[in-house]
Structure 1
Amino acid sequence: MAPDTSTQIHNIGYRSYEGARLGRAYARKSLFSQSLRGAYGLGRSAKSKVLPMLLFAVMCIPAVIIDGVAIMVPGSTDLPIKYTTYALTTQVIIGLYLASQAPQSVSRDLRFKTVPLYFSRPIERVDYVIAKFAAMASALFILTAAPLLVLWAGALLAKFDFADQTKGFAQGLVSVLLLSVLFAGLGLIMAALTPRRGFGVAAIIALLVIPYGAVTAVQGIAYSTGAAGAIEWMGLFSPITLIDGVQTAFLGATSAFPGGDGPSAGVGVVYLLVVLALIAGSYAALMARYRKAGL
């Protein structure tokens, strides 16, 4: 009787991996790159690119118009808007971008329970949090710094004073960098509280809109009743007015507070300390959140 040869065992053996072991640093860099690209829809579907790219264009279009006016109007010597004022003027666009992209960055990992898979690789909780935090802050910085670059280029084309424009541009960059890091931390922690993207979007919008509206209303009442001393202290209770106060105290900005008087340098130190405390607190809260989510 002939032997059955329909089943065969192939001994292909095992070969050890001889390539480079890239480790945590490479994994952290890859996660940062993937998260930053995802914040603008790169590497995702065409539908995912529409909103971030549209908001980016909306951020830059007013800067182009301002440049055109400055170049075409004879006798002008400066831009009609300060570099430090631009981000606060377009805060609604920044808020919409953050509300749409922060949940996209973290909510899906929580919803589909893929966070433990990240930590099964040579990547730790701190690497995940740092990569996501840095990517969101970088995406916001690109969104807010790009129109400032457009303004600066237009000012130079209009032959405005190079030193004054460069100084204002640098002050604006410092302001939006601080704004980007603060908003990234607050947005991510609100988005990471729930795996449902819609709830994350609503929470972020509420965090930016409700405190700002309340602070602005109370400041207006204080100004109309002659209690001007309370105005600068009320600004401590909203992320947007915090940035306004810091850049007014240290970056030569014009305050949007009632009466146009922002905090003094002494109170500005308190503003800066509160901003730094919120950034550190957001990072600590994210670390605590992913201690549980990574199980």
Structure 2
Amino acid sequence: MSSGTDARIHNIGYRNYEGERQGARYARRVLFTHSLRGAFGLGRSARSKVLPMGLFGIMTIPAIVIVAVAAFVGIDELPIEYTQYAIFMQPIVGLYIALAAPQMVSLDLRFKVTPLYFSRPIERSDYVLAKFAALSAALFLFCGLPLVLAYIGGLLAELGFVEQTKGFGQGLLITTVFALLHAALGLLIASLTPRRGFGVAAVIGALTVPYFAATALQAVAWESDNPDPIGWLGLLSPGTMIDGIQSAFLGGTSGFPGEQPPSDAAGLALLLAAAATTAVCYLLLGRRYRKAGL
């Protein structure tokens, strides 16, 4: 309203919302779907799709080769075991995690949009759960879809339906453990900085430095004719944890020196360590968002 003889009231057309209110469950589902799509660059610019889709293409190359060889040449056994696929392709998976985790959380912190999420009917715990579930699902798809192609190759090569199905199921099981562990760790690290570049570097460092340290110490132990600590040294990095678990419990070939699986005690310790690391990282991520956005 203005003063003087030109005073007037403008009707700007606001009216009450009369549609259905979906509630927190709908908001969580939408946040999960949006985050999962964003992990592959869907719904974003073409440039944002190049790296995740390119890495996914590289991830599927060995599986495509297996299918091609099985279809035209024939093979006696798969060159890569189902339980080893994610470990074999770990550098590519690590790069993907380093891209996807900061994209999910660092940008929200940088542009200070987390208060907008929390103004909706969701709590901070809902935000953390949706992001964790989205990255876990993205990693499961990233590592699991190539297993589907390899499984098709195994069936085309007539390697045995029961044997291939069992191996495929074991591969999906260890892929689930892999996805949950690395999603919790990647999101926690990425949430500590609003700078996406710093988040990428931090995630790469957290996944590669402990892995190389663990494998170097295992090699030293093997060359010193002291193989007993090798399985326990797998506790030093997420990658060696997964390798030890798949060889100890799922019958996969070990990537440790000498291809020897860890002892029963070391295997159990690796499994408990992976579960504890996932749980602790998730709890710390929830604690991080108790103050985020305030």
TM-score, normalised relative to structure 1 = 0.94
The residue matched to 2:40 in structure 1 has which SS? coil
Q: How does 1:34-45 map to 2 (within 5 A)?
A: 34-45=34-45
Kindly, what percent of the aligned residue pairs are identical?
A: 57
Moved more, 61-70 or 253-262: 61-70
Q: Deviations over 1:252-293 (max 9, x none)?
A: 111000011121233212111111111111111111111111
RMSD: 1.7
The answer to whether residue 212 in structure 2 is matched with residue 213 in structure 1 is: yes
Q: 2: distance between equivalents of 1:101 and 1:231?
A: 32
Q: Quick check: 1:247–1:253 contact (8 Å CA) kept in 2?
A: yes
Q: How does 1:1-295 map to 2 (within 5 A)?
A: 8-9=8-9, 15-74=15-74, 76-295=75-294
How far off its partner does 1:67 sit? Answer: 2.1
The residue matched to 2:228 in structure 1 has which SS? helix
Q: Deviations over 1:106-153 (max 9, x none)?
A: 011100111112111111000000000000111111100011000001
Letter in 2 for 1:72: F
Q: 2: distance between equivalents of 1:128 and 1:235?
A: 32
Q: 1: distance between equivalents of 2:121 and 2:183?
A: 25
Q: 1: distance between equivalents of 2:49 and 2:94?
A: 17
Q: Deviations over 1:223-268 (max 9, x none)?
A: 1111110101000110000000111111111100001112123321
Q: 2: distance between equivalents of 1:139 and 1:15?
A: 40
The residue matched to 1:292 in structure 2 has which SS? coil
Q: 1: distance between equivalents of 2:247 and 2:152?
A: 24
* Residues 207, 14 of structure 1: alpha-carbon distance in 2 compared, 3 angstrom cutoff: closer
Q: 2: distance between equivalents of 1:58 and 1:283?
A: 29
How far off its partner does 1:19 sit? Answer: 2.0
Q: 1: distance between equivalents of 2:161 and 2:30?
A: 39
Q: 2: distance between equivalents of 1:13 and 1:159?
A: 69
The residue matched to 2:291 in structure 1 has which SS? helix
* Residues 10, 172 of structure 1: alpha-carbon distance in 2 compared, 3 angstrom cutoff: same
Q: 1: distance between equivalents of 2:70 and 2:271?
A: 33
Q: 2: distance between equivalents of 1:145 and 1:202?
A: 25
Q: 1: distance between equivalents of 2:65 and 2:14?
A: 65
Q: 1: distance between equivalents of 2:241 and 2:267?
A: 9
Letter in 2 for 1:37: R
How far off its partner does 1:212 sit? Answer: 0.6
Q: 2: distance between equivalents of 1:138 and 1:5?
A: 64
Q: 2: distance between equivalents of 1:89 and 1:10?
A: 67
TM-score, normalised relative to structure 2 = 0.95
Q: 1: distance between equivalents of 2:11 and 2:56?
A: 57
Q: 1: distance between equivalents of 2:288 and 2:94?
A: 23
Letter in 1 for 2:181: L
Q: 2: distance between equivalents of 1:112 and 1:259?
A: 49
Letter in 2 for 1:200: G
Structure 2 gap segments, 5+ residues each: none
* Residues 46, 14 of structure 1: alpha-carbon distance in 2 compared, 3 angstrom cutoff: closer
Q: 2: distance between equivalents of 1:202 and 1:82?
A: 30
